[in-house]
A and B are shown apart, each in its own frame.
Chain A
Amino acid sequence: MSLSPGFSGRRGFDTSRLPPGQYPTYDFPVLSAGPTPEVDTADWEFTVASETGWRATWTWEQFLALPQQDVTTDLHCVTRWSKFDTRWRGVSLDVLLADAETAADFVIAHCHGGYTTNLPLEDVLDGRAWVVHAYDGFPLSPEHGGPARLLVPHLYLWKSAKWVRGLTLSPVDEPGFWEAAGYHNHGDPWREQRTWQD
């Protein structure tokens, strides 16, 4: 006998692109823990700092002058929606970290509004992470993280921190905001690493 009689569900999308427990959406939902910070590009700065004391800073104009990449990718949010073929423009972390003096294994992203998230360095190199400033051909809107956010599409979307203002390279891992509030430390959607229990 059925547990839930009469439920048949909806198909008709490419399920091979959908990690376990996700469903496709055509909207672009927003998940943020607090108010959207107001960030002005006139005083925007992006800083990368390492454990050796090395640091590099870009103003908005300098950031836009770096080599830009167009990225089309699927997004997977831990709240179970996935969005296919999203189009972004920004700077690869390979560029931003190219000159870093570091032996660190971890990256902590810092954001306007106080949000942080932690990532293994290997997850953000080799063309797998960007700082993006345009979505679908337009400047990134504030509620989606504008003027600039991290994009790490192979991990759940909370790792793609909005309103990013810098990266710290660290030899030790340090749980970020959601990672300390119950979300998984790594967040691989294909392995369903949603929470501490997974």
Chain B
Amino acid sequence: MSDWRRAELRARTPESTTARTLHLTVDGWPGHLPGQHVDVRLTADDGYRAVRSYSLSAPADGDRIEISVQPAPFGEVSPYLAEDFPVGAGIEVKGPLGGWFVWKPERPGPVLLVAGGSGIAPLAAMLRARLDLGDAGPPFHLAYSLRDPGQRWFGALLDGIAEAEDPAVTAACLYTRTAPPGHPRPVGRITAADLDLPGFRPADGALAFVCGPTAFVEKAANLLVHLGHRPDRVRTERFG
């Protein structure tokens, strides 16, 4: 089945001043794994079409999916989706796509999620799927590199993790430019110390997922390899 399915926009919620999560209902959605993506197709009135790929930012939930969109300056598709696409209107989606950058909830063993900026989106789906497992799930840690507190996507999810104080599911924000008052980590780019964590070391059998802009992914994945992680245990997805 390579069919395009009709998807209707139910709601749009803010992740930052500019980024939006689109909550869509898809006719006949077959479900997906955390980390997978969809192709989104837009058709203009004259038949012109544009297609882009977006990561799914929530785990499977019946016919509902979520994608999170950072509008690109002068972009053809992302500003329309983030700003102009009316609630109740439709787009077409194809998927789920991708068989490598996925976390299967039945997989035992700790998982280290490493996000740069909007690269948090597919990792948020993994984190939510992990939280759905409750006490039965494996250890998870998210290292989330972001510019400043205004760019912190999925705030409610991250606040919930902080408040739960469950040692098995933790998240750390790595601010690169401006941190909130009292934040324990000095402002700066990701370092080995941000990733060298008890319970998530190579000897623990950790699986790492790294997602973000190319330069960030290159840096973070190299840090993990130098910490001793096997390259095939470091799965990456690069944007632009």
Contacts and interface: CB of A to CB of B under 8 A. Distances in A.
A172 interface: no
Interface stretch (B121-129, B181-189, B216-224): B216-224
Contact of A10 (B76, B217, B234): B76
Contacts, number: 103
Contacts of B39: 21, 80
B205 interface: no
Nearest to B239: A29
A30 interface: yes
A9 B76 contact: yes
Contacts of B154: none
Nearest to B74: A10
Contacts of B43: 3-4, 7
Contacts of A198: 2
A80 B6 contact: no
Q: A interface, by DSSP: helix, strand, loop or mixed? A: loop
Contacts of B99: 181-182
A9 B44 contact: yes
A195 interface: yes
Contacts of B197: none
A80 B89 contact: no
Interface of B: 1-2, 6, 39, 42-45, 48-53, 76, 80, 84-86, 89-92, 97-101, 214, 217-218, 221-222, 224-225, 231-232, 234-236, 238-240
Interface of A: 2-11, 21-23, 27, 29-37, 79-80, 113-114, 143, 178, 181-182, 195, 197-198
12 contacts: A3-B92, A4-B44, A7-B80, A8-B45, A10-B76, A23-B52, A30-B214, A34-B234, A80-B39, A114-B231, A181-B99, A181-B100
